[in-house]
Each structure stands twice: as C-alpha cells, then as structure tokens.
Structure 1
C-alpha cells in the first residue's frame, strides 16, 4: 500500500515507524525480508500525500474546487512532484472530475493540467475538449484553444443523440454548427464560480426544440471536415443553426455546398439566405421598402491606418456625429459605442483589438418624455410572434433594464403586456403588414427583427438576423412573458416536425 523510498542514508522517522507498525497491526502491510513491517523513509509522507489527493478528489466531487486546488498543490510538494505531475495522475474519471471542478472554481492553471491529461485519455469526449478550450481562452492562449477544438472536430465532427423514446420512428435531423469564429469561453456565475459557454455565430436550440423527441446528428463544421461527408440515412431535415455571417461565413458557405450536394433533403434556414443578413446588406435591402428605415451602415477594416486616419475615413463615408461604432460579429452591445466627435472615434479604435467594424448612422428616436423603445418579433415559418417591448432612458436598449428601470414604472410593464397580447393594436395595421412582408424578402424560416417607431410612423429597424437568442430567463421574474415565449417554442418545434415529415 505504501511506497518505500530509500534515498542514500535516509532513515525512517519515528512517525514512519509508528505508521508502519500500525499498518501491520491492521493487516495493510506485510513483513518484508529482514525489514520491519512496512518501515521505510518517507512512509508517513507518502500516506499524507495519498490522503490529501483523495480528500482533494472528494472536494472536487462536491464542487469545492478552491479547497481541492490547495490540497493538490500540498500533496504535490510533499511528494517532490510538480503540481502538473500530481494532477495528471489517476484514473480517467478522476481526471475529468478534477478538471471540471478546478475550472468551475477559477483555478485555471490547475484546471488546464487536469483537462489536458483527461483529453489525452478521452480523445473523443467533447465536453472535456470544450472545457479545455474555454480555460485556454481565459488564460489568453487563443490560438492553442482554437487548435484544440479544430483537431477534435476533424476527428469527431458528428455527435449523435437519439430520441429518448421511439427512436426507431422519431424524425432524424442533421443539425449544423460552425467553429470558425465561434469560441468556448468561461463566464462568471457571480458567486465565485465559472462555467463554459459557446459564444458567437449561432442561434440557440435549448428553448426552441425538445431534442429528446428527435434523432439528431450534431455536425460541427471545421477545417474541411464536411467536404466528403454524406448525409445519414435516413435524414428528414437539415437544420442550420449557424446564424451570423460576420462570424461564420466560411462555415455557411461550406454547409451550403453540402446542401447543394444533398438536394432531396429539406432545409431549415438556408445558409445562402443567412449570408444576406449582415448589417450592411440589410441597409442596402431594407431601405427599399416604403415606410421602413434602416440606418446607413458601412463595413470597413483598419487597413494599416492609424486611429486618427481611420476616424477621418469614417467621416468621409458620409457620417456625421454622433454615430454608432461596433466590431463586426458582436452582439448584445459588446463593443458597441456611441461616439460624438473625431477624438472619441479615434479613442474607440485605440481601445479596440478588432480589425473589422461597422459604422452605423445614429437616428434619434427618443420620445418627448426622453424614453427609447425597442420591440422584437420572431418570425417562425412565416408567422410573426411578439417577444419584447423594452422601454429605457438610454439609447442602447437591452432587456436587463426590465428589473432595474421598467419594473419601477408600471405603465411600461403594461405596455409590454399589451404588445405581447396584441402587437397589431400597438404598432398599427399598416406597420404590422410592412413587417410581415419582410418574411418573403429575407427568405428564412427563423429570424428576428428589432425595431421602434419614429414620430412620423416610420419603422426604424435596428437589427434583423437569425442570431437572436430565445430564452425564458426574464420570464422567471416577469411571468406574463411565459405564454408568449412558449408559443414561439411550440411554433418552432411544430415547424421542424412538419418539415421533417414533408409538410
């Protein structure tokens, strides 16, 4: 049970002897040729190291990663090992548990070591590789993180999840993802713990589809792994979740080529239609519709210009201040800023690590009371479903304000409830029909539009794409949102089932 270490003239300590004798008494050590029962220099140290490793593994399993990390380091030093050597030892299950718990508690260097060891033991285990990539991203090792997932998806691009019940008769879907600009990252839970998440480029199926009712081949496109792949048999529907051409253009093009080679399988959200939903293309297309305005939006890159020269370049495109600037491929106000002069614009570029940007015309849309409004529809199979009616006192309206601002003004919550119950009555028949007409132009089965109404009744569209997230997070606090959101989930699943059955 105990490792015997003979190092030169080292002699057993009194504690070594006491532990060895007790071990013999309990039957866990045997007399060795001419050597006292189990007595060896360092036997006490070995026992303490072993107990610490076991205790750390127990702490890991109860989500106490911080305490576990300390014990792992303690045990490593006792045995004269590096922490990496200590963490890389053990069975596969222990390595997984260590890696997940250490990542969850923010012990990133230790988590990296355990996850690297686990990934070598589990070369086809998606979660361990995704967690390792998230940890590497958090440590600033972005290239290595990307390489981890690209190598994984080259080996194992498909993950099959069978329906929980009646898998033999359940529809079979081929669900596409991309890993070009998408990344696994770590997010803080606000309580000192962390979790991985996938950021960028897709719409989320979690609340749109009960995946236990379908046989789903999840395919992640990366580095040419789709070029020679053929669809599973049977395949009732191709479901493309890649939603942002600024982030996953190559993936969309690759998936479209696959679809062209598989003409007999119906497709939900064709990639060639998704590619047309960039902000600059929306500006070019949507302003042609009477009664709709999409702010002037231009895409540009740094092209070796310094910050002041880049600011002047934007001005020369026809913009006046204030204007909105953002990095391409970002959402939820990440990287978005309203700048008021050239110095502010140059400062934005100075603080940005991006290389590609959108300049967006700022159209003042505050009410006389100084409030800004943003409404959203989801389009599911050609039908519009109301999602939110935000009101805020800042121009960049987002849902997090519902608790902090809207909740203190009962009329705002009532307005949102009116919109969710009867959006046509809130925005008017004419505007409702204008927005309805977007379905034919956009040509997607699922997408969202954010907009407000200007004083003259014009629809000002902020954003239109399939990358908008559908979730019930805000409904946990504001229960009136639950039924309207559930209608969207029901409609999406009904659409998938109908398309998969040839409807």
Structure 2
C-alpha cells in the first residue's frame, strides 16, 4: 500500500480502493485489499463476494474460493454474481446438477446474465439433456448475439446430436466472433470446426477458414497442420506436403525452453510426414533449453535439413527423437536414424526402436507373454478389404490414426461395404475385436505410461460403449468412477493382480523405449487385452485439481521421471 492508502480501519475507503484495482484488472492488489477488509470484518458480504470472484479463477485455490463464496451467499443468497461463480466452480468439479441449480438461481435474479445461460447449457448437456441445453444456449445468444463461447458450445451440442451441418454453422460463427488473440483459442475453434465440417461433408468451409487463419498466422505450427490435414482430407496430398515442407523450411531449427545457460540442451527431432510423440505436458520446458527441428520430406532438393547447419545441431546435449509412429513413417525414421548418427549425441527413443512398434508388429513383438491377449492385426488396402468376408467382428482404422476418431467396428459384410463407401485411405489396419466388457456391463480402458521401461499408471476410463475414451466416459461426473480410477493410480499392481502386472512389466521391457505407453483392458479372466503400445500415447494433466486431486498426485511423477531421464542422458548416464 502507498502512503496515500486509507488507514486500516477505514473499511469504506479500503473497499473503494480494492474495487478500483478490481475494475482495472489489478487482481493481486484487489485481492490484498479484500483480505484486509475481511481481516477487520470477517463477514463483510461484498468483500467476500468480490474476493470469491477472484479466487474462483485462481488455479489451486478452488477450495478457498468455494468456502468464501458459500460464506458470501449465506449472507446474500440472491446475489447473482456469487451464484454464478459458485456454479462455475461446481461445474469444474463435475457436479453438473449442482451447477445447473446455481445457474438457474442466478438467472432468476438477473435474467439478462448471458454467461449463466451459457454455463447452464453446458451443464445440461453434461447431464444428458441436449434439448434443454440448446434452449439455454439459444437464450444466451438471444441475450448477447456476439457471445462467441455460447455459439461454440451450441455447436458442440449439435455435433453430439449428429446435426453436423448446423454445428458447422455455429462453430463458424464462434470463430468469426473470437478475438484475434490468443491464437490458441482460435486454433482450438478451428480444430473443432474442421472435425465437424468433415462429418457434414463441408470440407470446403473448413479449408476456407483454415486458409484465412493461415494468412493471419502463417508460421503458427498448429494452424499449418490443420490446413494440411484439411487438404489431405480433400485428396490434395501434394499440396499438404508442400505446405508442411515450406513451413519446416521457413522455421528451421527453432530455439525455445529454458534460458538458463546451465540447462541441458535437447534437440526435439521431428519430420514432415511423420507421426510424433505428444510433448505438450511430457516435456518440462522450464528445465530444458530446446531446439525443435522438422526434417524435410524425401524428394525435397534440400532434404533433410533445409538451410540448417549440422554443426548447430551438434551443440545440443541430447536428442529426443519425437518420431513415434511406425505406421506413419514415410521413410522419415530411417532419415532420423542417419541424422542421429551424424549428430553423435545420446538419443532418447532411438528411431530403430520405434520401427518395431507398428500395430501389425504387436502379435510378434509381444508373443508368448503370460497373461496377455494380443489381438490379431493385419495391414490391408481398401481393395483387399472389399474381398474379405467379415465372419468375426473387426476394428478398422487408417494406418497411423490415433484417438479413435476414425475407428469403426465392422460386425459383418454390410458394415464393411458401408465403410468402403466412405472412401477410406489407402492403408488400413484391421484388428480382431474382443469383447472386453466387465461383469457389471461397463467397458474399461487402462492406460500405462512407460518411462525408461518402468510402468506408471496414468488413467482409467469407464464407459458404456466399446469405444472408450476418457473424455467420452465423462469420468468427472461420477464419484464411483473417480474412486475406482484413484484406486488404480494408487496401486495399479493390486488392481491388475500378479499375472497382469507381470505382463505389463514385460511389455515395457519388450518395447524397450525411453518413453512409450499402452492402452489395455483387464479381462474377467485376469488377463490383459492389449489395444496398443507405442510412443504416441498421449500424456496430459488438463483435469482440474479440485475434481481430480489424485491425478495431480500421480501424473506429475511421470513427467518428473521423464525429466530425470533427460538429465541423465544429457550427462552421459544411462
């Protein structure tokens, strides 16, 4: 506080000063002011409410935010801002029913509060009531037609109902209304639009939007990749390849990460046309100085380095080969192997080790592991699939595809014919389907991460359908599901049992990678059913700590283990 600040006993003046800071978005100063008031008058309703508004958006302070807002509402139960803020907190905790009630109470006091209508729509959709969700979102838009988030959420609900054309229009409007910055927000909206427009048969709309974003942000790697993916989906593979090569050439070797001169230096080696290890959470860039390089594709006159000098790459301490997908290789793993040899530094996930992790190599790589069921896998063209009679259920997906977005279950020849009519890409992976339902009728998918061959439990998704994804399973909305997941993270070996735990350890040894992961199911027999095991398994920690405290205990251990591995390799250990 400055000398001109009001004395500590002048509560009205302190409140006016704190509110002025709040209005100017000087939130630290505003928070300090509200706390000074509460130190003198612990039940001051306005100070409680305004402090709660700040705390609700402070990571890691959810518990205090809830306590403060509840104290505030005990004194002012009709305060719409407090009701809305507490509703947002409940929604982040996965309590959609409680959130919806609070949003309705806020709207009863302030019918024109568009954010409350918007958040009510999100909560109702989470409760499986999409028609009511659309009504709430429509009201948010009627109240504020320029409310971009409401248009985006409306698009998500429509997409969930299979109304992809309407969803595309809603997402286009959300993108139009989005601010120019941050670019990450626009990229996220564009990604959703691209996915929905493809299902609506309107890729031309997605291409136009992606080209507009690319014109505004020509060097943004995510936007470049989204435009390239749209071009590929429109059968313009050469244009997509040229776009990616131009971006890699213009970008060169991009420095980043820690600026401490003592920080280990790591080369993140990628390549045009390859499938990569997801790095967003895995790599702690506050601890490492990074140099990111995308090798040019074969056929380019200046491949693989463009204008990058080999000597500049040899200045690093360790190379992390981020090419992790043997099914989406395009010959780049061989190029990466040659470049790693030329650089002459320790390599994390050597390219040669990645080559053996293709999906159709799994039956051979993991053969005769006690307690493991590895489904049969084959690589076929659409023409070969057309002549294959489907006598047992098969899973079909494009080679190199992850995330299940393009995964389909073929139960018979009619499904096969319908799938072929969608004109799938030239190389497909067929996998024997095994019914992995648990005795309670639910489907469970366990994810294990391997760091330096050691297994770490990452998550457990529990769904009502065979296509189990964590986001689709709505884990946040079930206390029972979260309790079961917590037991898995606390002691995965006890959950798996000795036989399946031993099989897991052996999978890590046979993968023989510095970073990898596997998705699997625990069968009623006590055996593991393997879905996939490779280096492209996603690791993140996006779930709020208030709703998933156990994940925030366990997942950082994986990142820390990987950081230790990088430090050891950079120092020539291991």
**TM beyond 0.5:** yes
Deviations 1:68-117 (A, max 9, x none): xxxxxxxxxxxxxxxxxxxxxxxxxxxx9899999888797587468548
Q: Does 1:399 align with 2:399?
A: no
8 Å Cα contact 2:398/2:424 also seen in 1: no
Check whether the contact 1:177–1:221 (CA below 8 A) recurs between aligned residues.
yes
Shift, 1:133, TM fit = 5.8
Is structure 2 residue 337 aligned with structure 1 residue 256? yes
Greater relative contact order (CA < 8 Å, ≥ 6 in sequence):
1
Instruction: State the secondary structure of the residue aligned to 1:449.
Output: strand
Match of 1:245 in 2: 326
Corresponding residue of 1:177: 270
Structure 1 unaligned blocks of 5 or more: 1-61, 65-95, 120-125, 182-200
> With structure 2 as the length reference, what TM-score do the two structures score?
0.59
409, 416, 432: which one aligns with 2:501: 432
Which residue of 1 is the match for residue 294 of structure 2?
Answer: 220
> Match for residue 497 of structure 1?
567
Structure 2 gap ranges (5+): 1-145, 149-179, 191-204, 298-302
The partner residue of 1:285 within 357, 365, 376 is 365
Going from structure 1 to structure 2, the CA distance change for 1:354 and 1:500 (only over 3 Å counts) comes to: same
C-alpha contact 2:267 2:320 (8 A) present in aligned 1: yes
- Aligned match for 1:131, one of 223, 229, 245: 223
CA distance in 1, matches of 2:217, 2:363: 48
Q: Which residue of the other structure, out of 434, 437, 443, is the alignment partner of 1:372?
A: 443
Structure-2 separation of matches of 1:115 and 1:390 = 36
1: CA distance, partners of 2:524 / 2:182: 58
Shifted more, 341-350 versus 134-143: the winner is 134-143
- Candidates 415, 430, 452, aligned match of 1:359: 430
2:285 is the counterpart of 1:211: yes
Which aligned pairs between 1:114-129 and structure 2 lie closer than 5 A?
A: 115-116=214-215, 126-127=219-220
1:469: how far off? Answer: 0.9
Between structures 1 and 2, the one with greater strand share = 1
SS in 2 for 1:400: helix
Query: Are 1:457 and 2:526 matched, yes or no?
Result: yes
After superposition, what is the alpha-carbon deviation per residue over 1:264-323, rounded to whole angstroms, capped at 9, x for unaligned? x11111111111111110122213222211100101113xx3xxx63333x3xxx63222
Q: Distance in 2 between matches of 1:498 and 1:357?
A: 39
Structure holding more helix per residue = 2
Question: In the alignment, is the contact (CA less than 8 A) between 2:500 and 2:528 conserved in 1?
Answer: yes
Structure 2 CA distance for partners of 1:294 and 1:217, relative to 1, 3 Å: same
- CA-CA distance at 1:171 after TM superposition: 1.2
Number of residue-to-residue matches in the alignment: 372
> Which of 398, 413, 435 is residue 482 of structure 2 equivalent to?
413
**In structure 1, which of residues 467, 472, 487 is the aligned counterpart of residue 541 of structure 2?**
472
- Shift in alpha-carbon separation, 1:479–1:253, aligned structure 2, 3 A: same
Instruction: Say if 1:174 and 1:421 are closer, same or farther in 2 by CA, change over 3 A.
Output: same
Alignment match, 1:8: none
Indicate if the aligned counterparts of 1:150 and 1:179 stay in contact, CA closer than 8 A.
yes
- Which residue is 2:252 aligned to? 157
- State the superposition RMSD in angstroms: 3.2
Cα 1:343–1:115, aligned 2, differ >3 Å: closer, same or farther?
closer
Deviation at 1:213, TM superposition (A): 2.5
What residue number does 1:148 align with?
243
CA distance in 2, matches of 1:492, 1:379: 9
In 1, distance between residues paired with 2:305 and 2:230?
29
Q: Secondary structure at the match of 2:387?
A: helix
Task: Name the counterpart of 2:551.
Answer: 481
CA pair 463-130 structure 1, distance change in 2 beyond 3 A: closer
Trace 1:272-351 onto structure 2 (pairs within 5 A).
Answer: 272-302=352-382, 305=383, 310-313=385-388, 315=389, 320-351=391-422
Q: Secondary structure at the match of 1:385?
A: strand
Pair 1:202 & 2:276 matched: yes
SS in structure 1 of the partner of residue 516 of structure 2: strand
How many angstroms does 1:429 deviate by? 2.3
Residue 138 of structure 1 deviates from its aligned partner by 4.4
Change (3 A) 1:104 1:381: closer
Partner residue of 2:96?
none
Taking structure 1 as the reference length, the TM-score comes to 0.67
8 Å Cα contact 1:133/1:146 also seen in 2: no
